[in-house]
Amino acid sequence: MNIKESFELYKSLGLNCLPTNQDKSPFKCVTWKDVNFTWENFVGCYGIGVKCGKVSGNLECIDFDNHFFDAQNVVKDFLSQISELYEKYNFPIEQTMNGGFHLIYRCEEINGNLKLARRSRIEANGKIKPDVLIETRGEGGYFVCAPTLDYKWVRNDIRNIPTITKQDRLILFETARSFNTYFEETKTDYEKTNRPGDIYNNSIESGQELISELTNAGWVEVRNGYWRRPDKKDGISATLGKVAPNIFYVFSSNAYPFESEKAYTAFQVVALLKHKGNFSEFSSELAARFNLKKPERKDFKKIEEKVLDSNKLESILNESYIDLSIPVQRPPIILKIRDFENGYLVDKRVFTLGNFSAITGKSKSKKSFLAAMFMAASVKNGIVNNKLIGCLPKNKCGVILFDTEQSYYDAYRYAKNVISIVDESIINHEHFIAFNLREYSPIERCEIIDFTLTKYKDEIGYAVIDGIADLVNAINDENEATRVITLLMKWTKQFNCHITVNIHQNKNDNFATGWIGSYILKKAECIIGVQKKEGDSLISEIECQDIRGTAEFNKFEIRIQENGIPIIEDNLNISSHYEVKDIPF
């Protein structure tokens, strides 16, 4: 069967096709998502692709990559684990030019492209990088297929694409996720070398106690190393010992108190289940169990307290005195958000020099993507997506990112996204620098940030700290919260800059976590909430939760494109010829 015959066949099956080049890219077209190609568009092409999503009747494809040259074994194992579903649906399966496989179906509910399982790959420089093992092609995606050279359908009939239930699709996904062997190790302060948690994780008893607590909480071991969460009748929710010895890897989104796609040590599992997340309490119990000497705790309150003499107090009073006879200029605006209201483009002040702001949201709600867009607008010192407007003073146009949470590779991608939003054709930008502080202690991070802001004080106008909770030794310690909030207020005034911080919200409400979160909500100039849009994991809704001294901006959405770059489509189609108004403050 040639490409034309296949095009006609796929079309008759309700599949929307596109012509492709040898490198799998779309053939002779700048955009392909909203184009209904006719056969004339295929003349001269190398191959054919099928679009997924609504345009093809809610088609979705599970793609088994062959980067590790064992895709055939992976697929064989996968099919054996879903044998009942395979016999029920007879999924069409295609072999790809590189030895991978495509498994297709339709479903009432699908998502955008998702990474279901990854493995670790060691690069030439010795760094460990995640590499995709199993992923999906869903809404907004496509896959190349037969009769493109070296592609062929190897199982079942493409003419009989099954429509599966949402529950059966979930089983497919959970089974695919059980093949994941990559994880980023995240240890608590109680698990540092020779601390109680570290000693416990390396003990023989930790493995048995972990299994005991999982069982007591209602978890069921379906088969060796594969676990199902409480109140679930079928499928897999987590693995134990598959990504690493004694590591509990969860991929269910309904496995409280565990988070989806996150790995947990034995210490963390037992602390979450037996001690309701009180790591300090479990650490104390272990210290007594192992007869460990309790380390001395630094009293940060005493470190911050200083006895001031009357002369110093008099000097502070003079510096702090507000003389009402001398007018004070409004602080320069460094970022605006453009709304379209009543036939006008209305630019609303969001950030000013000498203040700090906060982006809050649940874990994985895309807070960092929004921060990247704010930084891009500031680096560009102009407008991004006809929505965000950077307006830093010429003498303070430097932008800096401190990433405290992510691995070096993910922090690199984060910083690259900022530059890509500004201009995909450039590699670097003279007004933007980024630092990865994940490996340091909270106190060291504070010292590094203070040193860096001091070093670049004459250039930096905007800084992002992602995330601020990593600057405190404990998020529910009032003294620690006071210490870090005092630093934020000191840095913004002393260096005449604006700082945006990212902080998680509690799982059960919309309040920022801990004492540090509570203090931030009280002191920040602007609080911006980020929430995943229900039914579409690639879109997040942005809301102004509070702002001091000016009008709130309207809600808008950011969408993550296939290349991982966020975009705001709110005003993109609105002509810039409309009259622009500024909201005074």
Per-residue 3-state assignment (H helix, E strand, C coil) for 508-569: CCCCECHHHHHHHHHHCCEEEEEEEECCEEEEEEEEEEEECCCCCCCCEEEEECCCCCEECC
295: pLDDT strictly greater than 50? no
Range of the domain at 247: 189-289
Q: If you count DSSP H runs as helices and E runs as strands, how many of each does the chain have, helices first?
A: 15, 29
Residue 345 covered by a domain: no
pLDDT tens per residue, range 483-531 = 999 999 999 999 999 999 998 887 666 677 788 888 888 889 999 999 9
Distance (Å) of CA 331 to CA 335, 350, 416, 489: 12, 12, 30, 15
Residue 322 covered by a domain: no
- The pLDDT of residue 301 is 45
The CATH number of the domain holding residue 440 is 3.40.50.300
Last residue of a domain, one of 156, 177, 198: 177
Residue 343 covered by a domain: no
- Overall average pLDDT of the 548-564 stretch: 89
For residues 229 and 340, what is the distance between their CA atoms, to the nearest angstrom?
Answer: 47
Residue 435 covered by a domain: yes
Residue 324 covered by a domain: no
**Does one domain contain both 56 and 157?**
yes
The mean-pLDDT minimum among 64-78, 245-259, 310-324 falls in 310-324
pLDDT tens per residue, range 109-135 = 999 999 999 998 877 666 778 899 999
The mean-pLDDT minimum among 51-60, 80-89, 576-585 falls in 576-585
- Side by side, the strands of the sheet bearing 47-51 are 17-20, 47-51, 142-145
pLDDT band for 106, please (50, 70, 90 cuts): very high
**Does one domain contain both 253 and 384?**
no
Please tell me the total count of domains within the chain.
Answer: 3
pLDDT band for 427, please (50, 70, 90 cuts): low
**Does one domain contain both 263 and 364?**
no
**Does one domain contain both 557 and 489?**
yes
**Does one domain contain both 507 and 378?**
yes
**Does one domain contain both 423 and 564?**
yes
Last residue of a domain, one of 144, 177, 210: 177
Residue 163 covered by a domain: yes
**Does one domain contain both 203 and 106?**
no
Residue 157 covered by a domain: yes
Residue 320 covered by a domain: no
- Overall average pLDDT of the 36-48 stretch: 94
407: pLDDT strictly greater than 80? yes
The CATH number of the domain holding residue 25 is 3.30.2250
**Does one domain contain both 134 and 253?**
no
pLDDT tens per residue, range 298-319 = 444 444 555 667 777 777 787 7
**Does one domain contain both 130 and 278?**
no
**Does one domain contain both 555 and 413?**
yes
- The pLDDT of residue 299 is 47
Please give the structure tokens belonging to residue 409.
């590779």
Per the prediction, the chain carries an average pLDDT of 89
pLDDT tens per residue, range 190-232 = 998 888 999 999 888 899 999 999 999 999 999 989 999 998 9
Last residue of a domain, one of 150, 177, 204: 177
- The pLDDT of residue 572 is 76
pLDDT band for 467, please (50, 70, 90 cuts): confident
- The pLDDT of residue 300 is 43
CA–centroid distance for 317 within its chain: 45
- The pLDDT of residue 302 is 46
**Does one domain contain both 106 and 148?**
yes
**Does one domain contain both 152 and 233?**
no
Name the residue with higher pLDDT: 506 or 250.
Answer: 250
Which H, E and C letters describe 95-162, residue by residue?
A: ECCCCCEEEEEEECCCCECCEEEEEEEECCCCCEEEEEEEEEECECCEEEECCCCCCEEEECCCCCCC
For residues 191 and 266, what is the distance between their CA atoms, to the nearest angstrom?
Answer: 10
pLDDT band for 297, please (50, 70, 90 cuts): very low
DSSP letter, residue 506: P
For residues 521 and 518, what is the distance between their CA atoms, to the nearest angstrom?
Answer: 5
Cis preceding-peptide flag for 241 (omega within 30 of 0): no
Cis preceding-peptide flag for 130 (omega within 30 of 0): no
Please give the structure tokens belonging to residue 185.
């190790």
Please give the structure tokens belonging to residue 349.
């002040």
Across 290-379, where does the E strand assignment appear?
A: 333-341, 344-352, 356-361
SS3 category, 53:
strand
Residue 90 burial (C-beta neighbours within 10 Å; 0-12, 13-18, 19+): middle
Q: Which of these, 426, 333, 332, lies nearest to 376 by C-alpha position?
A: 426
The mean-pLDDT minimum among 38-42, 322-326, 333-337, 544-548 falls in 322-326
3: pLDDT strictly greater than 80? yes
Q: Which residues contact 558 (CB under 8 A, 6 or more apart)?
A: 366, 369, 370, 373, 539, 540, 542, 566, 567, 568
